[in-house]
Amino acid sequence: MKFGLSLILILVAGPSLSQTVPGLAHLLDTSEDARPLSVSIWYPSEAKASTSVGGNPVFEGVAAAPNAEFTHSALPLVIVSHGGLRSATDSGAWLSSSIARAGFVVAEVDAPHPDNAAAALNEIWQRPRDIRRVIDLVLADTTWGPRVNETMVSVAGFALGATAALSVGGAELDVASYLRSCAPDRKQHGPDCGWFAAQRVNMSATNPDGLAGMARDPRVTSVIAINPEYPEDLGSVPADIRKLSISLGKPESTSADGQQTPPFVVPQASIFDAFAVCTLAGPEILMEEEGDASICGVSSDARRAIHQDVSDAVISFLNGGAK
């Protein structure tokens, strides 16, 4: 699933200035020239909205208060990893904002997006590595390190980001099976096999050292996986890791990502509901640019309701709800 659009436009709708919203800050990791990471930090605040994040003519933005005062003691940290191979920047802002309002520091990671299938092959191991880099970055930062409880680190991800979340939580990737995910005899093909085939890219070209380096991050204590990609190639997370699986729509398999318990299912949803709420003009723009207005879902109200269901389930889990 290629989460994202070619649109890189600026949000035109303004936030409600009377709304109390989460604070927002940014960190940048330039330790790797070829893969700088931009991180949006969301946190609880009593400030009023002064900007909007993650919006464009297709998708509504999320209200925020940049550099609002931080008035809390150390809070649990949640890393949010975007989905798909070409996600828009801050595409998970709707979830990050909701989690922050519930009393968490949330770090949403945005990495350079691959512009061709050959580069995209290595995202399977780059995404977990990005998560580990962001944890390093936040904990080492002189401002944000003291503001988070390093013993309570969770990772939430959508699609390929969910696969990455499970990986850093200790779910092992069956590399041989993964490399065959586009094979003709495979019952369930990987989400990007058509793209790879069109550009004559073979899964076997995935960097073997990168795949070998995928491993559990011992700092991660719980994971939230929303419609993970390549679930049939993933093992189970260890018993000491708390895990919540969420399925937008009915899951294709009751044993996705090696889970021992059924996922939280939002039956009326689809994978497209991981996107933000669409603007009024969104469906028409999508028809012109992408040819698929269904990305906007049934209606804005229906998507807001789905986002609320997902946010409630995630927050309940983070606060110690059912495993």
Give the angle subtended at the CA of 148 by the CAs of 142 and 153, to the nearest 5°. 125
**227-282 confidence digits (pLDDT tens):** 999 999 999 999 999 999 999 998 865 444 445 567 999 999 999 999 999 999 99
Place of tokens 């904002």: 97
Helix (H, G, I), strand (E, B) or coil at 20: strand
In angstroms, the CA 47 to CA 22 distance is 7
What's the Rg (C-alpha) of the chain? 19
**HSE of 101 in the Cβ direction (CA atoms, 13 Å)?**
19
Give the angle subtended at the CA of 280 by the CAs of 274 and 281, to the nearest 5°. 95
**39-96 confidence digits (pLDDT tens):** 999 999 999 999 999 999 999 999 999 999 999 999 999 999 987 666 678 889 999 9
pTM: 0.91
Closest CA to 23 of 3, 42, 48, 2: 42
Q: 52 phi and psi, to 5 degrees?
A: -135, 140
DSSP states along 25-45: EEEEE-SSTTS-EEEEEEE--
Identify the DSSP state of 271. Answer: G
Q: What is the mean pLDDT of residues 30-40?
A: 95
Place of tokens 């069956």: 174
Average of per-residue pLDDT values in the chain: 89
**145-172 confidence digits (pLDDT tens):** 999 999 999 999 999 999 999 999 999 9
Superfamily of domain 23-273+306-318, CATH level 4: Alpha/Beta hydrolase fold, catalytic domain (3.40.50.1820)
Closest CA to 43 of 7, 12, 74: 74
Q: What percent of the chain has pLDDT over 90?
A: 77
In angstroms, the CA 255 to CA 45 distance is 39
In angstroms, the CA 86 to CA 310 distance is 22
CB 30 within 8 A of CB 51: no
Give the angle subtended at the CA of 284 by the CAs of 280 and 288, to the nearest 5°. 150
